[in-house]
Structure 1
C-alpha cells in the first residue's frame, strides 16, 4: 500500500501536516508554504513518485528530517486505515490533515459510467471522510485541524461535470458535518478554489473555453497555487474558525 521514505522517528514537538496529493500543483505549493512556517510535512502521492521525491529532497536540504513520502492509492479501501497508521508513525504525531487529492474530468449525461462515479466520489468524498475518521483520535489529541480542498462548483454546478460537482458538494457537507462532530478539539474548514490552474488531460480546455471562464471572473485573471496555500495557512492560524468554506476564486462565485 504505502512506501515511507524515512525511518520512524522519536515523537517530535514540531507540528506535522499530512497532505494528500501533495507531489504536484496545488498540493505541492501547500506543502512548500507549510514547510516555510516550520511544519514537518508528509507528502502523500499515488503515482507521482519522482515529483514527490524531488520536493522532499529540496525541503530536507532546507531543514533535515522535515519531509517524508507516503504512497497510497486512496481508491483502495484497505489503504486508508494503513495510511493513517503509517503517517502517525513517521514523526510520531499528526496535527494537520489536508485532504487535497482529487480527480476531475467531465462526465456529460449519456456518457457517464459507474467507474467514473466510483472514482470521482471516492477521491473527492469517500477517501477524505474515511481518512479524517481514521485520524480523528490523533488530531483530537493534538487539538488539530482538517482542511478539505473543495471547489466553487460544489455550490454552483459546472456543465457536463455533474458527478464531480456532486462529489465536491459532498466534500463541503463533510467539512460542515465534521466541524460539528469533532468540536471542540478539532477544527474543520475548507478552501474552495476557482480558476487557479487550468485542468490537465481529459479535462483540458481549449482557448475559447479558457476565455469563457476568464470572462466570468471579476478580477479577470486566474489565481495561483500560492493563493490556495495562503488561504490554508489563514485557516490554520486563526483558531476561532471552524465549519467554513472559503472561496478563493477572484470573485467568480458572485455570478
Structure 2
C-alpha cells in the first residue's frame, strides 16, 4: 500500500518557493508530510500567504527564509538558516530561476551574471553547502532545469546556456555525491508563460504533440516522485507534453 505521507519527518528547502512552480511544489511536498522551508527574495507577501495556507492543516510546518541568491556569502547562511528549522535537511529543491531575453547584440555582462548566477552558480554552491547535511539524511537534490537546456530558446542564448550548465550539474553531482545523495532534475516545457507575453502560448501549442499546455501540478508531482524515488539518480525528466521529441 502506498504511504500517503512518504515525506513525514523530512525537511525540504525550496529556493524561489513563494510563487509559480515553487509554490505548487511546496504544496505537494507539504501534503506528503514534509516540513517545508520556503526561500524567497522579494515575494514576502506571497511567501507569508503560502505559509498561512499550508499551516492551516499543520501548524508550525512551514518556515520562511529571505535572501538574494546572487549574494554569494548568503548561500552558506541560507543552508544554516534552513538547518535551524528542524536540525536536518533531507531535500534541496533548486527551483529559483531568472528568465529574460538576451539578444546577442544587446546582452550585457550584468545580464550574464544574473542568469548564470541564479540558474547555475547558486544551485551548485547550495548543493556544496548542503552536502554535509544531506549525507547524514541520505537525502536528495532536485534541480529545476528546462527543456531549453537541450533546445536553445530563440533570443535567450544566455538563459539556455545557463540551464544547460544546470543540466550537466545534475549528472555531474549525481556521480560526485553518490552513494549518499541522489541528484535529479525536472525539465518543464510549456507550463507557465512569462507575464506580459501573450503570444508565447499561441506560438508554443502547435509544437506540442499533446496539443495542450501543462499545469504546475504536473511539475509538482514529478518533483514529489523524484523526492521519493530511492533508486533514481542522475536523471532529468522532461515534463513537456512531448515537445522535446518534436521536430
* TM-score grouping bracket, smaller chain normalisation: over 0.9
- The aligned residue for residue 59 of structure 1 is 54
| Separation (CA, whole Å) in 2 of partners of 1:127 and 1:18 | 14
SS in structure 2 of the partner of residue 62 of structure 1: coil
Cα deviation, residue 14, structure 1: 1.0
Structure 1 residue 234, shift from structure 2 partner: 1.1
What does 1:79-98 align with in structure 2 at a 5 Å threshold?
79-98=74-93
Question: How many residue pairs were aligned?
Answer: 239
Whether 1:143 and 2:138 are equivalent positions in the alignment is yes
Per the normalisation by structure 2, the TM-score is 0.95
Q: Choose 231-240 or 71-80, whichever is displaced more.
A: 231-240
Equivalent residue runs for 1:26-105 within 5 Å: 26-105=21-100
The TM-score, its normalising length taken from structure 1, stands at 0.92
In the other structure, the counterpart of 2:198 is 206
Q: Displacement, 1:163?
A: 0.1
2-structure distance, mates of 1:197, 1:71: 24
**1:65-124 residue CA offsets vs partner (Å, 9 max, x unmatched):** 100100010000111011111111111111000000000011011000101000000000
For 1:2-21, list aligned pairs within 5 A: 14-21=9-16
Structure 1 segments (4+ residues) deviating >6 Å: none
For the residues of structure 1 that align with 2:161 and 2:215, how far apart are their CA atoms?
A: 25
Equivalent position of 1:7 in the other structure: none
Question: Where does the alignment leave 5 or more consecutive residues of structure 2 unmatched?
Answer: 1-7
Q: Which residue of 1 aligns with 2:236?
A: 245
Q: Deviations over 1:36-73 (max 9, x none)?
A: 00001000000000000011111112101100100010
Q: Could you tell me which of 115, 118, 121 is aligned with 1:120?
A: 115
